[in-house]
Amino acid sequence: MKTAAPRLIASLVAGLASALILYGVFLSDGRPFPYHNRVPDAELAFKMIPLELLVGLLIGWLVYGLFGRRQAAAPRGDIQERMVYRFAHRRGGAFTLPELETQSPLSAEQARQVVEKLLEAGRLSREGETYRLKA
């Protein structure tokens, strides 16, 4: 819920910006300014405001949905495994669980889960309290 405000703001900005861009397109008949002896068509741009707002609403809704889909995705386990591998390599291939929990970006629960998963997969071995990478 802490990211609801940036998600909403980004959606509003994208929607309003696309509506304003479409207003400018209708105002200039799709031609870039300045053009010779041509008056901007403010009447057409005004008549098309419902379409411009509809397109802006659609763009805002798409941005809102894309933000939400990315935030709702589960954390990727392979990234956490790579963190453990890098941590172990920096320590010569061996580490303890308390070291991993306190000196890596992983939380204590994430560290335990990843270490357990790597043990089950046979990529780590345990010697007392020390975990070692298998070659």
Query: In the chain, which segments carry CATH 1.10.10.10?
Result: 77-133
| All residues at 6 or more sequence positions from 45 whose CB lies less than 8 Å from its CB, including other chains | 23, 24, 26, 27
Q: What's the Cα-to-Cα distance from 52 to each of 19, 58, 79, 81, rounded to whole Å?
A: 5, 10, 42, 47
Question: In the CATH hierarchy, which top-level class contains the domain 77-133?
Answer: mainly alpha
- Is residue 2 scored above 90 in pLDDT? no
Decide if 134 contacts 88 (C-beta within 8 A): no
- Is residue 82 scored above 80 in pLDDT? yes
CA distance 36 to 52: 26
- First CA to last CA distance, the chain: 42
Report the predicted TM-score, pTM, of the whole model to 2 decimal places.
Answer: 0.51
Q: Please write the tens of the pLDDT for every residue from 27-73.
A: 887 777 666 667 788 899 999 999 999 999 999 999 999 887 766 55
